[in-house]
């Protein structure tokens, strides 16, 4: 295994990249260094032909407590932060990652931590994991894509209630609402998620990428447009096997 010893660790288990948010003393609160390092890692995974899928998890007591407001609220200045975000749109890069990616959640997944997980293709969680988007209660708006990813997982009314109310729910409730893919015992969570992603890509990694592209992009198309795109990509796949 290879690793980067920093606020985000990257390890490799065969064709699976294991990304670990590594600020356990701050409950993995998302700061500028974590944003920048995670962006670099996502770019590296995207361009590495030996990696077929990724797993995102958190060190310590939980997955991610959301943004570190003590840092984002003071440094860098607002205009500089906007400029950096335009140059390095981490959330968009996770969203459009062509390789399958899963989040392994434990303890808590709050604010941008939950939004980040919702940008992944699968969300596995340990029993009792706390989920919340508390921004509205703080007079803020979810800023990591939550207003768009949430209604793609939940019924619109449930999405509005969850985001506007800032409710905290458990992973078990999230599973019933379709936010969570599966509940997994805490001591098995990471290995289960890695093994699951290995099975997803073990037969033909390219097929998994094509299916992901069709499903995710098809959500923003009419049924006719989605079916037409499916025919085109299927034809390309078949041609490669001739």
Active site residues: 115, 135
Place of tokens 């390789």: 99
Tokens of 50: 């030996």
CA distance 11 to 51: 11
- DSSP assignment of 167-179: -EEEHHHHHHTTS
Residue 91, SS3? helix
Task: Give, rounded to a whole angstrom, the gap between the first and last alpha carbons of the chain.
Answer: 37
Sign for the pseudo-dihedral over CA of 145, 151, 194, 127: positive
Place of tokens 């205009």: 79
The length of the chain, given as a count of residues: 242
Contact 181, 123 (CB under 8 A): yes
């Amino acid at each position: 295994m290879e690793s980067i010893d920093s606020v985000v660790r990257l390890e490799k288990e065969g064709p699976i990249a294991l990304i670990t948010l590594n600020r356990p003393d701050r409950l993995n609160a998302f700061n500028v260094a974590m944003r920048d390092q995670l962006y670099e890692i996502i770019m590296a995974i995207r361009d590495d032909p030996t990696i077929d899928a990724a797993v995102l998890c958190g060190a310590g007591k939980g997955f991610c407590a959301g943004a570190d407001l003590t840092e984002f609220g003071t440094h860098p200045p607002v205009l500089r932060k906007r400029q950096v975000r335009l140059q390095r749109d981490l959330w968009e890069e996770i969203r459009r990652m062509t390789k399958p990616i899963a989040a392994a959640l434990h303890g808590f997944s709050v604010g941008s931590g939950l939004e980040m997980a919702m940008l992944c293709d699968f969300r596995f969680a340990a029993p009792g994991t706390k989920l919340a988007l508390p921004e509205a209660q703080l007079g803020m708006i979810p800023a990591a894509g939550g207003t768009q990813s949430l209604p793609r997982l939940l019924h619109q009314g449930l999405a509005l209630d969850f985001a506007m109310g800032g409710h905290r729910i458990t992973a078990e409730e999230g599973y019933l609402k379709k936010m969570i893919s599966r509940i997994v015992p805490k001591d098995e969570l990471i290995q289960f998620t890695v093994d699951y992603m290995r099975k997803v890509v073990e037969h033909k990694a390219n097929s998994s990428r094509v299916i992901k592209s069709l499903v995710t992009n098809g959500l923003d198309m009419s049924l006719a447009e989605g079916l037409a795109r499916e025919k085109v990509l299927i034809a390309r796949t078949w041609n490669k096997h001739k």
